[in-house]
């Protein structure tokens, strides 16, 4: 494992108690960072913290990223425990049902957008002012290859991740005058609990589109994120980094 220098840095990872978020938390902690996990699942969060606190500094908050008041409260509570927030990894998300657009329930569509897109907005909106005051920050938003290509039977998810890409580009330009880098990654599918929300047919469709012939591993995602949130990433901002196994066409 390449060693990234994150000594004395503090990272907030949303959806950090499992899957991609937990893998990122472990990688950042191994590179020297203190980590704060924000997750809506209290039991899963407690289990993740028990593991991480054996190997470094880790705190957690039960947060509903789709609720701006919950995000603001978590920001203040986190800052009471840590002197600053250097890193934000906005990872929390859901897949939603696999349905044709014209059959998609409005409530389900809104729920996907509320968590996947508005959740990223709420977290960035709460934390970026603190990064501006300290003139330092690194943000990585977890988007998806679906946001670039659009998966059939996943219009809400694809639209939400396309929104995350555009949000990243806008915020990257808005903070370019400070030492703040805002980037996103667009992974192909990884075997996480999101698969529980998908049909077997849709999972097979995603696999068939990856030239590598396999799903991305969560540790492969965390390796790229670790560099993006480091001080060494001092120039690139508003950019999209693919982890698609060759699927991405632009």
Cα–Cα–Cα angle for 116, 103, 66, rounded to 5 degrees: 20
Which of 136, 157, 205, 250 is catalytic? The answer is 157
Torsions phi, psi of 244, nearest 5? Answer: -105, 5
Q: Which residues are within 8 A (CB) of 217 and not within 5 positions of it... i.e. 6 or more apart?
A: 190
Known catalytic membership, residue 136? no
Rounded CA-CA distance 64/126 in Å is 13
Is residue 63 a contact partner of residue 126, using CB atoms and an 8 Å limit? no
- CA-based torsion, 54, 224, 141, 115: positive or negative: negative
Joined together, the tokens standing for residue 10 give 């503090």
Residue 217 burial by Cβ neighbours in a 10 Å radius (0-12, 13-18, 19+): middle
222 with 208: CB under 8 angstroms? no
Bridge partners for 137 per DSSP: 180
Return the half-sphere exposure (C-beta side, CA atoms, 13 A cut-off) of residue 71: 24
Give me the half-sphere count of Cα atoms (radius 13 Å) on the Cβ side of residue 191: 6
**DSSP-assigned beta bridge partners for residue 58:** 35
Q: Mind telling me the catalytic residues?
A: 157
């Amino acid at each position: 494992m390449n060693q990234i220098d994150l000594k004395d840095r503090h990272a907030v990872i949303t959806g950090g108690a499992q899957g991609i978020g937990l893998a990122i938390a472990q990688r950042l902690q191994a590179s020297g960072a203190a980590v704060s996990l924000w997750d809506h699942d209290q039991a899963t969060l407690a289990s993740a913290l028990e593991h991480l606190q054996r190997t470094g500094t880790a705190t957690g908050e039960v947060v509903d990223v789709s609720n701006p008041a919950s995000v603001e409260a978590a920001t203040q509570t986190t800052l009471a425990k840590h002197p600053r927030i250097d890193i934000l990894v906005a990872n929390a998300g859901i897949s939603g049902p696999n349905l044709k657009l014209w059959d998609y329930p409005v409530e389900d569509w809104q729920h996907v957008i509320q968590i996947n897109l508005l959740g990223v907005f709420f977290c960035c909106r709460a934390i970026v002012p603190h990064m501006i005051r300290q003139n330092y920050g690194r943000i990585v938003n977890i988007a998806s290859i679906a946001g670039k290509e659009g998966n059939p039977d996943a219009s809400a998810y694809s639209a939400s991740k396309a929104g995350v890409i555009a949000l990243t580009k806008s915020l990257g330009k808005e903070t370019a005058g400070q030492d703040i880098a805002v980037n996103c990654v667009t992974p192909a599918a990884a075997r996480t609990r999101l698969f529980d929300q998908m049909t077997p047919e849709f999972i097979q469709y995603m696999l068939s589109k990856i030239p590598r012939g396999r799903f991305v591993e969560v540790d492969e995602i965390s390796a790229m994120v670790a560099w993006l949130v480091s001080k060494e990433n001092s120039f690139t901002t508003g950019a999209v980094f693919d982890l698609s196994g060759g699927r991405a066409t632009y």
